[in-house]
A and B are shown apart, each in its own frame.
Chain A
Amino acid sequence: MRQAENTLFTIVMLIYFASMILYFVFIAIKKDRLAGAAALLQTVGLVLHSAAILLRGLAAGRLPLTNQYEFATCFAWGLCLVSLIFIRRFRFPMLGAFAAPVIFLIIGYAAMQSKEIHELMPALRSNWLGVHVSTAIIAYGAFGVSFVLSIIFLIRDRLRDSSFWDRHVPTHEKLDLISYRSVCLGLLFLTFTILTGAIWAERAWGSYWSWDPKETWSLVTWIVYAVYLHLRIRRGWRGKAAAVFAAVGFVCVIFTYIGVNTFLPGIHSYA
């Protein structure tokens, strides 16, 4: 089963890579059909990715959400899922072109991690694991999409003369609103992640909040996105400043996920 999971994971990586190339070709030769083909390829990748995660879970006999490899592959899955939903919901195929490299980078990071399956320590053997980490995956995926949208927002001005870009990239106002929707999704799920994490921590460690670096950085990320929301309400800050803040928020997300484990070990060091 592990062999099958490894093979499937490699195929998924290749599919995501191919989809990214297809998106690039779509931008280069400006053929609209290619965007649809790339999105379709990405959807196939997502289905196979789900199967790979399922196989991993079956091989481990538990939810595959406990170490850097497992979380990274699920993070890429979450980002792919949320970006496909947003592409469909807002009829915005260009989003896929910008999301694909980020998805490929994250799954590439997963490929560099150890794929060994380890037994869980007692603290991790809880039903809260599934709820806590799966909500984090959706939150991170949504923040990833908002990051991509912010990048598109920030570079849109440089592309405004091109009719191709005008046709495929929504106006600043709509980009801002779509980014806001993805931040809303992410923040709701991040709040749920923090809340379920606190309930679980109380049961496992006897304290629902202990200022562990992972907890602290989740809070920092939450605050950054809360500032983003407040900035949007204030007149004059909607748009560029909010886009910059959404991008900074994603930097915090990445730091919470990778940076904290690398530089600030704590009780979440296994994650």
Chain B
Amino acid sequence: MAKKIFKFISSMRFAICLLILLAICCALGSFVTQNQSFAWYAERYSERTAAWITALQLNDLYHSWWFLGISLFLCCNLLLCNIIRLPQLILRTREAGDPSGIGGAQVQAYAEHVDRPEELFQRLHMPKPRRTELDGQAALFSSAHRAGLWGAWVCHIGILLLIAGFTLGQATHQEYAVYGVAGQTRQIGDTQLFLTIDDFQIDLRRDDTVSQYTSQITVRDLSGKNALSRQASISVNHPATLFGYRFYQNSTGWAARVRVEKGDEALQDEVLCAGEYLPIEDLPDLVIFFHAFYPDLIMDPAGGPRTASGQLNNPGYLYSVYYQNQIVGMNVLTGDETITIDDYTVTFSEPQSYTVIQCKRDRFSFLALVGGLAAMLGLFLAFYLQPKRVWAVSEQTGGWSFHGACPKMGALFRDQFEEAVRAISE
């Protein structure tokens, strides 16, 4: 029974089933929006569909136990298949260089008058043939592209490494997002690394579209006895590696200076990014939420705010006020307008861009890269190095018999072979 299971798991039939299943799952995952809440699915589809989606883990399909299960079975299948095939491959590689395997020739031809049998090998783009003897007859033999026999094997190993690298990377990677304006320093997650944004620039083209985002950063490592510090410039497509972490220019947004005053007394003065909350320290139940910023504010026909350009022509700050978690006001501030709550005044000013920097460490990405390159190499070997063997045997009749084998090219090789034999015997 165990032998049967082993045979089935390592079979090509099982591999084909798994591949088809995997393709169906991947396609399914692309149609179901991933990582949303039950309420989101219920609103979009129906309560019942949402229940099915969450029960079957279709909401996080690529991390579901059954998707991982299929991937695991595929890995087992690839591994077993490669282990089983290894001795056969070594044997076949040896045989491919052995002229005595003439019995395996797929195509034969005989020519009575041939001056230079070596020409056949040239015409078939074979390496220079070596002289040998077959059944007491003088013969020429050449074998080409033996490495092609290993193509599928190398490709499978590559895929295994790729899956292993990706899975291990997913399980162990560390990823943080740090955002802020120039001059701010933030701790990177729970690490002992501190990131200072020295400068942040947005390069605009004449038509106001963004050409590039660039952050100048300094990262300090406080984990050792002596603090180490390194600087880098990062922009989209140009990440930097510092202290084993990769730093990426991720995105940007607007921030503003928010001041809370009571009479003439300044109580709070902070830089707030759009999407952030500011609790009023004097009034614990009161919170200001900075929704969005419009550098060139205009009102659309429906009365909603939007920006006419990226230039700071008419700054507008969309905010809302929460009292005991209930929204009590919402508006857009322009010019010198302020928010007044009892004796308190809240002002928004000095709009500036903030940068979002992604910080990541994936120790296994190199494994995935090596796997990908190995898979490429394997496919190249399998597809473009077609193993072939050619024999030319001097017959007692005075003529030559020619034999060839190139299993992957089948009829196409037969045509080439016959044409070449015709050409040299004419």
Contact = CB atoms under 8 A, between A and B. Distances in A.
Interface stretch (B17-25, B114-122, B341-349): B17-25
Contact of A188 (B207, B246, B380, B410): B380
Interface in B341-384: 358, 360, 365, 368-369, 372-373, 375-376, 379-380, 382-384
B13 interface: yes
A194 B376 CA distance: 10
Nearest to A122: B236
Contact of A125 (B13, B62, B236, B373): B236
A200 B212 CA distance: 16
B205 interface: yes
A90 B16 CA distance: 30
B194 interface: no
Contacts of A226: 19
A185 B379 CA distance: 10
Contact of B236 (A171, A204, A219, A260): A204
Given A173-B411, A213-B30, A216-B29, A204 B376 contact: no
A195 B376 contact: yes
A160 interface: no
Contacts of A223: 19-20, 22-23, 26
Contacts of B213: 122
Given A122-B210, A122-B237, A202 B19 contact: no
Contacts, number: 119
Given A122-B236, A192-B376, A230-B12, A264 B30 contact: yes
Interface in A192-213: 192, 194-195, 198-200, 202-209, 211, 213
B27 interface: yes
A227 B13 CA distance: 10
Contacts of A184: 379, 382-384
Interface in A204-262: 204-209, 211, 213, 216-217, 219-220, 223-224, 226-227, 230-231, 233-234, 260
A199 B369 contact: yes
A119 B166 CA distance: 34
Interface in B210-262: 210-213, 235-239, 246, 248, 250
Contacts of A194: 372
Contacts of B379: 184, 187-188, 191
B412 interface: yes
Nearest to A238: B410
B410 A173 contact: yes
Size bracket of the B interface: 35 or more
A208 B169 CA distance: 11
B201 interface: no
A177 interface: yes
B420 to A, nearest CB: 16
B413 to A, nearest CB: 9
A231 B16 contact: yes
A110 B29 CA distance: 29
Given A122-B236, A206-B175, A234-B13, 6 more contacts: A171-B411, A174-B411, A211-B62, A220-B27, A227-B16, A230-B12
In the A-B complex, list the 4 residue pairs whose CB atoms are closest, starting with the nearest. A184-B383, A122-B236, A206-B248, A223-B23
26 contacts: A90-B412, A121-B210, A122-B210, A122-B236, A125-B212, A125-B236, A126-B237, A171-B411, A174-B412, A177-B409, A194-B372, A198-B368, A198-B372, A202-B365, A203-B239, A204-B236, A206-B248, A206-B358, A207-B360, A208-B368, A211-B29, A211-B62, A213-B30, A216-B29, A223-B19, A233-B12
Interface of A: 90, 119, 121-123, 125-126, 128, 171, 173-174, 177-178, 181, 184-185, 187-188, 191-192, 194-195, 198-200, 202-209, 211, 213, 216-217, 219-220, 223-224, 226-227, 230-231, 233-234, 260, 264
